[in-house]
């Protein structure tokens, strides 16, 4: 399959949509997500012989996509001025507010997060990794992962509130 | 776990299996990229054949050169006056001494072979032709030898009978058919060969020099640090500020290289080396823009902590991009050297060329268009096209210092300098980028056979 173009295309067609969803969560915008997806699928095809049929093929591809995204993140770091979100109390928004949000809105909220927040939130909240695992993956301290998650949540809540107010 | 938090739970539930349309053009890009990689793979195979041919030719030439050192030891190494040791003289003496028209002496074989300081000379005399009273084989004392005589003249006179006249240790044998054999000169008394007494030998003696003629094949493996000296030059004057911009935002870092090579060293010390060298040049992009604009949303809270309004503000702040840039090179060294050995130390002086097989890049630099960071990675479709995939030949020079640990193993230190004369950038890119690399390698070499 490594050199079978038709098989590769079939694999791409089957999993591209799901993986594009993953990439959109890690990327800042559509273009970056497409780049990530492209890099990830090239890696998939280059390393397809290494797939050992342990676990699902989709899970294996997903791991490659996530790792490609993390590598892209670690390559660049952006430092912005600190924004005043620490003072805001957590859980100030009733949970039922979240339920009305659509997937596209949630993606936009995630995309607006700073890189560090976005990556940690994705890995912890959506992928289900523990802080210990995240610290290993990102090469940072567990405490850093925790604080990034808290900040991400706060920022997301702020943005959700803003959306709610606009809707009202 | 994340599910306990309602926010996490909502995001997880809605986005975990979220699907989004991937553009159709993306497959074409992936396919093209894969094809490009396949092309590179094929190109490598293509060049591999050519390189193998070049390497074979160079190796063959090297071996021919080295083989010239493996000739038999010459007579000139022996401490005999060359003028006095020719075959013709020996024959002439025999002719003058014993040959008559009716009884010629036939020289069947006349060899002078230097082997463990011995000379053998075989003469065949026809029966019945050795009746002259003067035809005796003698080995006269050195004092009796006239000055202009050769070594052979002093030793050979024609015997009157097949009997042999021996003097002291000389083992001269004459049999039917008459064969004269001169035994080892080393067995003769020292006085016999004294140039002072006989005048038969050259006044300047050459030392006996018996070389083994053995070539050594070494496997060498080394690694070391590399510092790169980069030269950025604008192809046109209008790009000088851009060249300055790149110089200000990019910094060279300590790099490394590792090399595996085969060295063939002749007995005379001439060496030919080839193998594979991998070099990774590290650089860092340190870009900062103090006027980066970023949208932020903040809440305005009342005295009791309630949210009374939300402000959307634009934060103008510092944007930093720090990227680790890497340039990877795979080269075939083709080196000629000369080695001098003293006791346990060997010093090697090398010069040659490095033939670049691949040149790959990964990282960011500021774009010549908008001075914003842009990728130049060779594996990215969207990268700014700037670099070549091969950078041709690099000139090389080094000094190796080897220390013999045991009969087969040596450790070595090798400072070297490598200079690529061609620019690593393509013609369309506004800057030329050349490298001079200085390396300090430590390595191990072992005798293969």
| B49-89 pLDDT per residue, tens | 666 766 677 667 666 666 655 444 444 444 444 444 444 44
* In the block, residue with structure tokens 């776990």: B1
Task: Tell me the pairing of strands B250-252 and B105-106.
Answer: unpaired
Residue B215 pLDDT greater than 60, yes or no: yes
Which pLDDT score, from 0 to 100, does residue B400 have?
Answer: 94
Touching check for B10 and chain A: CB below 8 Å?
yes
Q: Looking at A8-12, B203-207, B308-312, B382-386, which range is the least confident one?
A: B203-207
Q: Which of residues 314-373 of B touch A (CB under 8 A)?
A: 315, 317-324, 364
Report percent pLDDT > 70 for chain B: 59
Report percent pLDDT > 90 for chain B: 31
Q: Looking at B286-300, B314-328, B368-382, which range is the least confident one?
A: B286-300
Sign of the C-alpha dihedral computed for residues B104, B102, B125 and B133 taken in this order: negative
CB nearest to A161's CB, from B6, B294, B307: B307
Q: What is the CA radius of gyration of chain B?
A: 41
Q: Looking at A46-50, A69-73, B83-87, B415-419, which range is the least confident one?
A: B83-87
Asked whether the beta carbons of B194 and B184 are under 8 A apart, the reply is no
User: Which of A116, A125, A128 is the best residue to mutate to test the B interface, defined by the most B CB atoms within 10 Å of its own CB?
Assistant: A125
Cα pseudo-dihedral B211, B215, B221, B225, rounded to 10: 60
Residue B325 pLDDT greater than 80, yes or no: yes
With contacts defined as CB-CB under 8 Å, which chain B residues touch A161?
299, 307, 310
Asked whether the beta carbons of B265 and B254 are under 8 A apart, the reply is no
Residue B146 pLDDT greater than 50, yes or no: no
Residue B183 region by backbone torsions, left for phi larger than 0, else alpha for psi between -120 and 50, else beta: beta
Whether A158 and B294 lie within 8 Å, measured CB to CB: no
Residue B104's pLDDT band, with cuts at 50, 70 and 90, is very low
| Residues whose CB falls within 8 Å of the CB of residue B358, separated by 6 or more in sequence, listed in order | B40, B44, B328, B329, B330, B389, B390
Q: Which of residues 261-300 of B touch A (CB under 8 A)?
A: 292, 294-299
| Residues whose CB falls within 8 Å of the CB of residue B135, separated by 6 or more in sequence, listed in order | B97, B98, B157, B158, B159, B160
Average pLDDT, chain B: 72
- B68, with CB counted inside 10 A (0-12, 13-18, 19+), is exposed
DSSP B139-157: ---GGGS-TT--HHHHH--
| A75-128 pLDDT per residue, tens | 444 333 334 444 444 555 666 677 778 888 888 888 888 888 899 999 999 988
CA distance B91 to B85: 11
CA distance B356 to B121: 59
Whether B315 and A124 lie within 8 Å, measured CB to CB: no
Tell me what the mean pLDDT of segment B424-440 comes to: 92
Whether B310 and A162 lie within 8 Å, measured CB to CB: yes
Q: How many CA atoms lie within 13 A of B40 on its CB side?
A: 15
The residue of chain A with its CA nearest to that of B295 is A112
Which pLDDT score, from 0 to 100, does residue B134 have?
Answer: 39
Residue B158 pLDDT greater than 90, yes or no: no
Whether A128 and B1 lie within 8 Å, measured CB to CB: yes
With contacts defined as CB-CB under 8 Å, which chain A residues touch B297?
158-159, 162
The residue of chain B with its CA nearest to that of A128 is B2
With contacts defined as CB-CB under 8 Å, which chain A residues touch B312?
162
Report percent pLDDT > 90 for chain A: 19
Tell me what the mean pLDDT of segment A31-52 comes to: 87
The pTM of this model reads 0.42
Tell me which long-range contacts B122-126 makes (C-beta under 8 A, separation of at least 24).
Answer: B122/B179, B122/B180, B122/B181, B123/B94, B123/B156, B123/B178, B123/B179, B123/B180, B124/B177, B124/B178, B124/B179, B125/B98, B125/B158, B125/B174, B125/B177, B125/B178, B126/B177
* In the block, residue with structure tokens 């691949």: B358
| B186-211 pLDDT per residue, tens | 444 544 444 444 444 445 555 544 44
CA distance B55 to B273: 10
A142-167 and A103-111 helices, crossing angle to 10°: 130
Which pLDDT score, from 0 to 100, does residue B80 have?
Answer: 47
Q: Which of residues 136-195 of B touch A (CB under 8 A)?
A: none
Residue A20 pLDDT greater than 90, yes or no: yes
Residue B103 pLDDT greater than 80, yes or no: no
Which pLDDT score, from 0 to 100, does residue B271 have?
Answer: 94
- The shortest C-alpha distance from A89 to chain B (Å) reads 9
With contacts defined as CB-CB under 8 Å, which chain B residues touch A12?
27, 30
Report percent pLDDT > 70 for chain A: 81
Residue B329 pLDDT greater than 90, yes or no: yes
Q: Looking at A153-167, B49-63, B141-155, which range is the least confident one?
A: B141-155
Tell me what the mean pLDDT of segment B120-124 comes to: 42
With contacts defined as CB-CB under 8 Å, which chain B residues touch A24?
18, 20
* In the block, residue with structure tokens 């107010």: A165
- The shortest C-alpha distance from A138 to chain B (Å) reads 16
Of the candidates B279, B281, B309, the one whose C-alpha atom is nearest the C-alpha of residue B297 is B309
As for the ipTM of the complex, it is 0.83
With contacts defined as CB-CB under 8 Å, which chain B residues touch A158?
297-299, 310
């Amino acid at each position: 399959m490594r050199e079978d173009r038709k098989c590769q295309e079939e694999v791409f067609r089957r999993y591209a949509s799901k993986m594009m969803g993953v990439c959109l969560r890690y990327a800042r915008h559509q273009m970056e997500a497409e780049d990530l997806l492209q890099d990830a699928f090239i890696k998939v095809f280059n390393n397809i012989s290494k797939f050992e049929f342990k676990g699902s093929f989709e899970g294996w591809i997903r791991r490659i996509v996530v790792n490609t995204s993390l590598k892209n993140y670690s390559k660049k770091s952006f430092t912005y001025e600190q924004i005043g979100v620490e003072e805001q109390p957590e859980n100030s928004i009733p949970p039922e507010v979240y339920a009305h949000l659509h997937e596209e809105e949630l993606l936009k909220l995630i995309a607006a997060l700073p890189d560090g927040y976005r990556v940690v939130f994705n890995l912890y909240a959506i992928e289900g990794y523990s802080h210990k695992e995240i610290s290993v993956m990102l090469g940072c301290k567990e405490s850093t992962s925790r604080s990034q998650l808290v900040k991400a949540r706060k920022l997301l809540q702020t943005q959700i509130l803003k959306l709610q107010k606009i809707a009202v | 776990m994340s599910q306990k938090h309602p926010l996490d739970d909502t995001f997880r539930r809605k986005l975990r299996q979220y699907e989004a349309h991937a553009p159709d053009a993306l497959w074409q890009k992936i396919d093209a990229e894969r094809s490009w990689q396949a092309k590179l793979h094929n190109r490598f195979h293509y060049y591999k054949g050519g390189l193998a041919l070049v390497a074979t030719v160079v190796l063959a030439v090297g071996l021919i050169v080295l083989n010239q050192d493996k000739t038999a030891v010459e007579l000139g190494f022996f401490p005999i006056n060359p003028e006095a040791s020719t075959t013709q003289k020996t024959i002439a003496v025999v002719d003058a001494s014993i040959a008559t028209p009716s009884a010629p002496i036939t020289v069947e074989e006349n060899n002078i072979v230097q082997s463990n300081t011995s000379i053998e000379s075989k003469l065949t005399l026809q029966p019945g032709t050795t009746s002259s009273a003067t035809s005796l084989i003698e080995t006269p004392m050195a004092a009796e030898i006239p000055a202009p005589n050769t070594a052979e003249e002093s030793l050979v006179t024609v015997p009157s009978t097949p009997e042999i006249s021996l003097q002291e240790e000389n083992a001269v044998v004459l049999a039917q058919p008459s064969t004269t054999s001169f035994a080892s000169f080393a067995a003769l008394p020292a006085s016999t060969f004294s140039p002072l007494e006989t005048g038969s030998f050259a006044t300047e003696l050459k030392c006996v020099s018996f070389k083994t003629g053995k070539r050594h094949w070494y496997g060498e493996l080394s690694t070391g640090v590399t510092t790169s000296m980069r030269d950025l030059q604008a192809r046109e004057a209008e790009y000088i500020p851009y060249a300055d911009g790149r110089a200000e935002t990019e910094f060279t870092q300590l790099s490394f290289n590792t090399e595996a090579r085969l060295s063939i060293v002749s007995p005379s010390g001439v060496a030919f080396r080839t193998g594979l060298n991998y070099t990774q040049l590290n650089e860092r992009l340190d870009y900062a823009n103090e006027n980066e604009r970023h949208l932020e949303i903040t809440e305005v809270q009342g005295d009791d902590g309630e949210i009374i309004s939300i402000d959307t503000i634009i934060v103008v702040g510092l944007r930093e991009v720090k990227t680790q840039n890497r340039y990877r090179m795979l080269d075939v060294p083709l080196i000629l050297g000369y080695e001098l050995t003293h006791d346990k130390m060997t010093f090697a002086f090398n010069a040659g060329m490095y033939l670049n097989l691949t040149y790959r890049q990964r990282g960011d630099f500021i774009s010549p268009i908008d001075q914003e960071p842009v990728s130049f990675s060779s594996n990215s479709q969207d990268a700014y096209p700037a670099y070549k995939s091969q950078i041709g030949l690099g000139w090389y020079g080094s000094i190796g210092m080897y220390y013999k640990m045991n009969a087969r193993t040596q450790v070595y230190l090798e400072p070297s300098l490598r200079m690529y004369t061609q620019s690593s950038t393509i013609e369309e890119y506004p800057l030329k980028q050349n490298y001079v690399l200085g390396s300090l390698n430590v390595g191990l070499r072992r005798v293969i056979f």
